[in-house]
């Protein structure tokens, strides 16, 4: 069986890894330069920085088992963050018992591990699909790819809807406004923040999350590096704001949180258009076409988060093997 997977984020990669293990041939297509989607660490400050997913938790037995295996392989480590929360003008210690993990050396390491680059077509945005005895895919640059028995769309809802012109029934099951944006900023500081916090859940400010990236295992650097995420609401309001304004805001917010002057060495900004699943909306589950060998997967199918993206990929693989 030859399977095409459009979208090489956590869901697409976990789906493909399961299909490969079951003996299928797998080929991934992704519009980005690299795989891992929203968990892909960005090149910055002469290294990498986690601008997307910050950490992950493991609550379901199947994912916990996988995380244990990754730990044994040195691909995942526990992040013992010094947690704080900021609310009503106060920075308060906020420890808990939740175990949080990160990929090492970078967030994307576990799900990319062991895959052959020949199985990927990157920089390829799929814009059209056809089914006649097998799947044919067309990309933005006019390239066509054919001969696939089954297809998995492991992309965010809006992008899935664009590709489902031929399947009204499936298209109508995809929630179109489920993912909210996130403006993400990383800063490299000339002088350290003199506070023990390494992560802050922020309430009632433009930022929702602040974390010291170099406090995560395998990411130690000479200068402190902080990642700041704006809330979905603020990110939506500031969708077209220029990077320098968002960086200035990030610095001002850091100064407010830690009550010290912040001196910037370097910065990077990324606008995630489809970032965080709106927890207020019902998750539809992994969607399976009744007419064609086609399955839809992604974090949004099961309610957001890395764990759910991985589990959705596994469920999609099972569905493909049974169509
Ligand atoms: P994606 O990672 O979005 O993968 C989809 C892939 O499809 C992408 O690589 C994209 O390039 C590709 N694609 C889309 N359209 C096309 C097309 N037409 N043709 C080809 N390729 C296409 N989760 C946590 O558990 N913990 C966190 O701390 C956390 N923080 C987050 C912070 C931010 C800023 C963001 C953005 C996300 C965060 N998340 C977090 C959510 C987590 O990253 C996602 O749940 C998970 O990575 C989603 O994986 P996915 O495979 O479903 O989707
Ligand atoms: P988690 O259990 O650490 O965090 C879940 C949420 O609980 C946090 O966003 C925060 O608001 C709150 N929280 C947790 N610990 C806290 C503490 N010690 N003090 C104060 N508040 C605390 O991890 P989980 O559930 O794996 O989520 C990871 C991240 O993924 C979150 O930080 C968030 O950014 C994102 N997320 C995305 C969702 C989605 O896509 N729908 C849903 C939930 C979280």
Q: Tens digits of per-residue pLDDT, 8-49?
A: 999 999 999 999 999 999 999 999 999 999 999 999 998 999
Which ranges in 105-184 belong to alpha helices (H)? 109-112, 157-163, 168-171
CA 57 / ligand 2 centre spacing (Å): 9
User: Measured between alpha carbons, how far is 197 from 270 in angstroms, rounded to an integer?
Assistant: 24
Atom in ligand 1 nearest the alpha carbon of residue 163: 18
Protein residue with its CA nearest to atom 10 in ligand 2: 201
Both 189 and 290 in one domain: the answer is no
Is 268 near ligand 1, meaning CB less than 6 Å away? no
How distant is the alpha carbon of residue 96 from its chain centre?
A: 24
Structure tokens belonging to residue 43: 């090149």
**Position 63 pLDDT exceeds 80:** yes
Both 245 and 260 in one domain: the answer is yes
Mutate to test the pocket of ligand 2, among 64, 91, 276, 282 (most ligand atoms within 8 A of CB): 276
Residue 56 to residues 74, 76, 295, 307, 314, Cα–Cα distance (Å): 16, 10, 25, 7, 17
> Does residue 74 lie within any of the structural domains?
yes
In terms of residue numbers, what domain contains 203? Answer: 66-107+179-277
> Does residue 50 lie within any of the structural domains?
no
CA 56 / ligand 2 centre spacing (Å): 9
Half-sphere exposure of 30 (CA within 13 A, CB side): 22
Atom in ligand 2 nearest the alpha carbon of residue 279: 41
The per-residue pLDDT for 166 is 85
Q: Tens digits of per-residue pLDDT, 196-254?
A: 999 999 999 999 999 999 999 999 999 999 999 999 999 999 999 999 999 999 999 99
The per-residue pLDDT for 17 is 97
152 near 18, Cβ under 8 Å? no
Is 30 near ligand 1, meaning CB less than 6 Å away? yes
Strands 264-277 and 225-230, bridge-based pairing: unpaired
Both 31 and 126 in one domain: the answer is yes
Q: How many domains does the chain have?
A: 2
**Position 323 pLDDT exceeds 90:** no
CA 9 / ligand 2 centre spacing (Å): 20
Q: What percent of the chain has pLDDT over 90?
A: 97
> Does residue 44 lie within any of the structural domains?
no
State the CB neighbour count (10 A cutoff) for residue 184: 25
Both 138 and 226 in one domain: the answer is no
Q: At 86, is the pLDDT very low, low, confident or very high (cuts 50, 70, 90)? A: very high
The per-residue pLDDT for 177 is 86
Mutate to test the pocket of ligand 1, among 4, 7, 143 (most ligand atoms within 8 A of CB): 7
Q: What is the CATH number of the domain that holds 133?
A: 3.50.50.60
State the CB neighbour count (10 A cutoff) for residue 120: 20
Protein residue with its CA nearest to atom 35 in ligand 2: 305
Both 94 and 200 in one domain: the answer is yes
Rounded to an integer, the average pLDDT of 68-95 is 98
> Does residue 172 lie within any of the structural domains?
yes
> Does residue 61 lie within any of the structural domains?
no
State the CB neighbour count (10 A cutoff) for residue 176: 10
Rounded to an integer, the average pLDDT of 64-81 is 98
CA 133 / ligand 2 centre spacing (Å): 44
Mutate to test the pocket of ligand 2, among 59, 81, 96 (most ligand atoms within 8 A of CB): 96
Both 304 and 165 in one domain: the answer is yes
User: Measured between alpha carbons, how far is 210 from 187 in angstroms, rounded to an integer?
Assistant: 11
Q: What is the CATH number of the domain that holds 260?
A: 3.90.660.10
Q: At 318, is the pLDDT very low, low, confident or very high (cuts 50, 70, 90)? A: very high
Is 129 near ligand 1, meaning CB less than 6 Å away? no
**Position 299 pLDDT exceeds 90:** yes
Both 84 and 224 in one domain: the answer is yes
Both 11 and 92 in one domain: the answer is no
User: Measured between alpha carbons, how far is 5 from 2 in angstroms, rounded to an integer?
Assistant: 10
Both 191 and 153 in one domain: the answer is no
CA angle 228, 238, 126 (to 5 degrees): 85
> Does residue 315 lie within any of the structural domains?
yes
ipTM over 0.90: yes
> Does residue 30 lie within any of the structural domains?
yes
Tokens 């664009």 appear where? 162
Q: At 64, is the pLDDT very low, low, confident or very high (cuts 50, 70, 90)? A: very high
Is 2 near ligand 1, meaning CB less than 6 Å away? no
Protein residue with its CA nearest to atom 24 in ligand 2: 57
Both 133 and 260 in one domain: the answer is no
DSSP H or E run through 248: helix 243-258
Is 302 near ligand 1, meaning CB less than 6 Å away? no
> Does residue 29 lie within any of the structural domains?
yes
Ligand 2 pocket (Cβ < 6 Å) reads 56-57, 83, 85, 94, 96, 98, 201, 276-277, 279, 303-305
Both 221 and 194 in one domain: the answer is yes
Both 168 and 309 in one domain: the answer is yes
**For the chain, how big is the Rg over CA atoms in Å?**
20
Rounded to an integer, the average pLDDT of 297-316 is 98
């Amino acid at each position: 069986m030859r399977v095409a997977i459009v979208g090489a984020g956590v869901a697409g990669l976990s789906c493909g890894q399961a299909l490969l293990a079951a003996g299928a041939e797998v080929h991934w297509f992704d519009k980005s330069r690299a795989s891992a989607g929203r968990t892909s660490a960005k090149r910055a400050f002469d290294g990498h920085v986690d601008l997307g997913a910050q950490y992950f938790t493991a609550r379901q037995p199947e994912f916990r088992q996988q995380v244990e295996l990754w730990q044994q392989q040195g691909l995942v480590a526990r992040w013992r963050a010094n947690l704080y929360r900021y609310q009503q003008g106060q920075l308060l210690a906020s420890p808990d018992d939740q175990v949080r993990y990160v990929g090492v050396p970078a967030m994307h390491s576990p799900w990319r591990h062991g895959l052959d680059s020949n199985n990927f077509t990157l920089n390829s945005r799929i814009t059209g699909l056809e089914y006649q005895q097998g799947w044919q895919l067309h990309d933005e640059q006019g390239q066509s790819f054919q001969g696939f028995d089954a297809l998995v769309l492991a992309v965010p809802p809006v992008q899935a809807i664009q590709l489902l012109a031929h399947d009204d029934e499936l298209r109508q099951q995809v929630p179109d406004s489920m993912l909210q944006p996130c403006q993400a900023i990383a800063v490299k500081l000339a002088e350290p923040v003199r506070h023990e916090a390494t992560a802050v859940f922020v309430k009632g400010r433009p930022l929702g999350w602040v974390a010291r990236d170099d406090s995560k295992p395998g990411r130690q650097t000479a200068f402190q590096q902080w990642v700041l995420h704006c809330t979905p609401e603020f990110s939506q309001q500031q969708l077209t704001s220029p990077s320098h304004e968002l960086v200035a805001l990030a610095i001002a917010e850091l100064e407010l949180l830690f009550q010290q002057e912040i001196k910037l060495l370097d910065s990077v900004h990324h606008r995630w258009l489809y970032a965080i699943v709106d927890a207020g909306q019902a998750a539809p589950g992994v969607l399976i076409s009744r007419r064609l060998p086609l399955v839809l997967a992604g974090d949004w199918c099961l309610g957001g988060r890395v764990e759910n993206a991985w589990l959705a990929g596994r469920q999609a693989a099972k569905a493909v093997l049974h169509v």
